[in-house]
Structure 1
Amino acid sequence: MSYVIRSVRADEWAAVKELRLAALQDPVAPLAFLETYEEAVGRPDSFWQERTARGAEGADGLQTVVAQAPDGRWVGTVTVLLEEPGTTDWAGFPVERKQGHLVGVFVRPEERGSGLTEVLFDAALEWAWAHGAERARLIVHEDNGRAQRFYRRVGFVPTGVVVPMPGVPGESELEFVLEGP
């Protein structure tokens, strides 16, 4: 299958919302995302409009990449956040180098195994490198073996940094990184 891989446009908030809600209904969503379907479905349209505008083509410091199937359906996404040295990340850890933080990775189940996730990652990493990132990183739940295997296969390695899950005592996530070109 041939996909179009591109950045979202600000006016595509309804498609962003639909794909995110689909992601949050996936059986591994509790291991992959920091929000629930119930939280997301209750958000007003203004939330989705703002979220999409922040990740749209030309936005500064954040880029959302989508995969569109030939029939027009959105079938996958990944978002890259640029993190600047001297700041702290969402978990309160210091950022020491300019890095792209990949979040919100999702490919519809019927598209998995097609190579689509690799293509999405290539586009996300290309954007991060073009914006001066020295490395890319991501955080993955300690029990999400499928995601960890994929990340290792595309070159990410664990750093040993363990991030406690917000609001979930006893559960944690692991940091993986990929050094830049």
Structure 2
Amino acid sequence: MNYQVRSLRVDEWPRAKALRLEALRDPVASIAFMETYEAAAGRPDSFWRERAERSAEGASGAQQIIAEGPDGEWVGTVTVLMEKPGSTDWAGMPVERLQGHLVGVYVQPGHRGIGLTEVLFDAGLEWAWSQGAERVRLLVHEDNARALRAYRKAGFTETGVTTTLGPDKGERELELAVERPESDG
């Protein structure tokens, strides 16, 4: 697999915007993402620049990881949000410990099934662990069978927690099945 997986840089916001808009046109976007293509496409460039600033290389509260194909085209992404104990997450769920939350997972159809999701997750997990995360989790719509298979293949297991994020938004929580790596020292 000849892909470069790395953190987003702030000045790459136009490419991040284009990849997000592409993801929102995926056939399962209505159950995979919490926004519509129309809403995202209508946002001003300032929104996309600020989003990149909050999740680019060096940011501490979030990190967007991108995958570049051999030709330099961006073919996949995942964002890791760090959530602090005592707060509530973007979905209104209570946060009990420092954790990473994987969101915005997308891989172009022509690059699926080759392990790229796992490689993106590995980069996101490495960053989350380096931020002191005690666990990493994600939410997935109960009808998104393709995503459920990919997340299970990557080592995530269901926690038994479910939430409803509006009409037709029954979401299952999954977390990483392995423990955080021990630090040296």
TM-score by length of 1: 0.96
Q: What amino acid sits opposite 2:171 in the alignment?
A: E
Cα offset for 1:56? Answer: 0.5
Corresponding position: 1:98 with 2:115:
no
Cα offset for 1:115? Answer: 1.2
Cα offset for 1:180? Answer: 2.5
Distance 1:3 1:120 in 2: 10
Cα offset for 1:98? Answer: 0.6
| Divergent runs of 4+, >2 A | none
Is the contact made by 1:63 and 1:80 (CA closer than 8 Å) also made in structure 2?
yes
Percent of aligned positions with the same letter in both sequences?
65
Which residue of structure 1 lines up, in the alignment, with residue 77 of structure 2? 77
Which residue of structure 2 lines up, in the alignment, with residue 177 of structure 1? 175
Is the contact made by 1:136 and 1:180 (CA closer than 8 Å) also made in structure 2?
no
Q: What amino acid sits opposite 1:165 in the alignment?
A: L
Cα offset for 1:153? Answer: 1.5
Q: CA RMSD in A?
A: 1.0
Q: Secondary structure at the match of 1:2?
A: coil
Distance 1:48 1:55 in 2: 11
Map of 1:129-148 to 2, 5 A cutoff? 129-148=129-148
Distance 1:50 1:77 in 2: 18
Map of 1:1-181 to 2, 5 A cutoff? 1-166=1-166, 168=167, 170-178=168-176, 179-181=179-181
Question: Unaligned 5+ residue runs, structure 1?
Answer: none
Q: Secondary structure at the match of 2:114?
A: coil
Q: Secondary structure at the match of 1:31?
A: helix
Distance 1:18 1:51 in 2: 13
Aligned length: 179
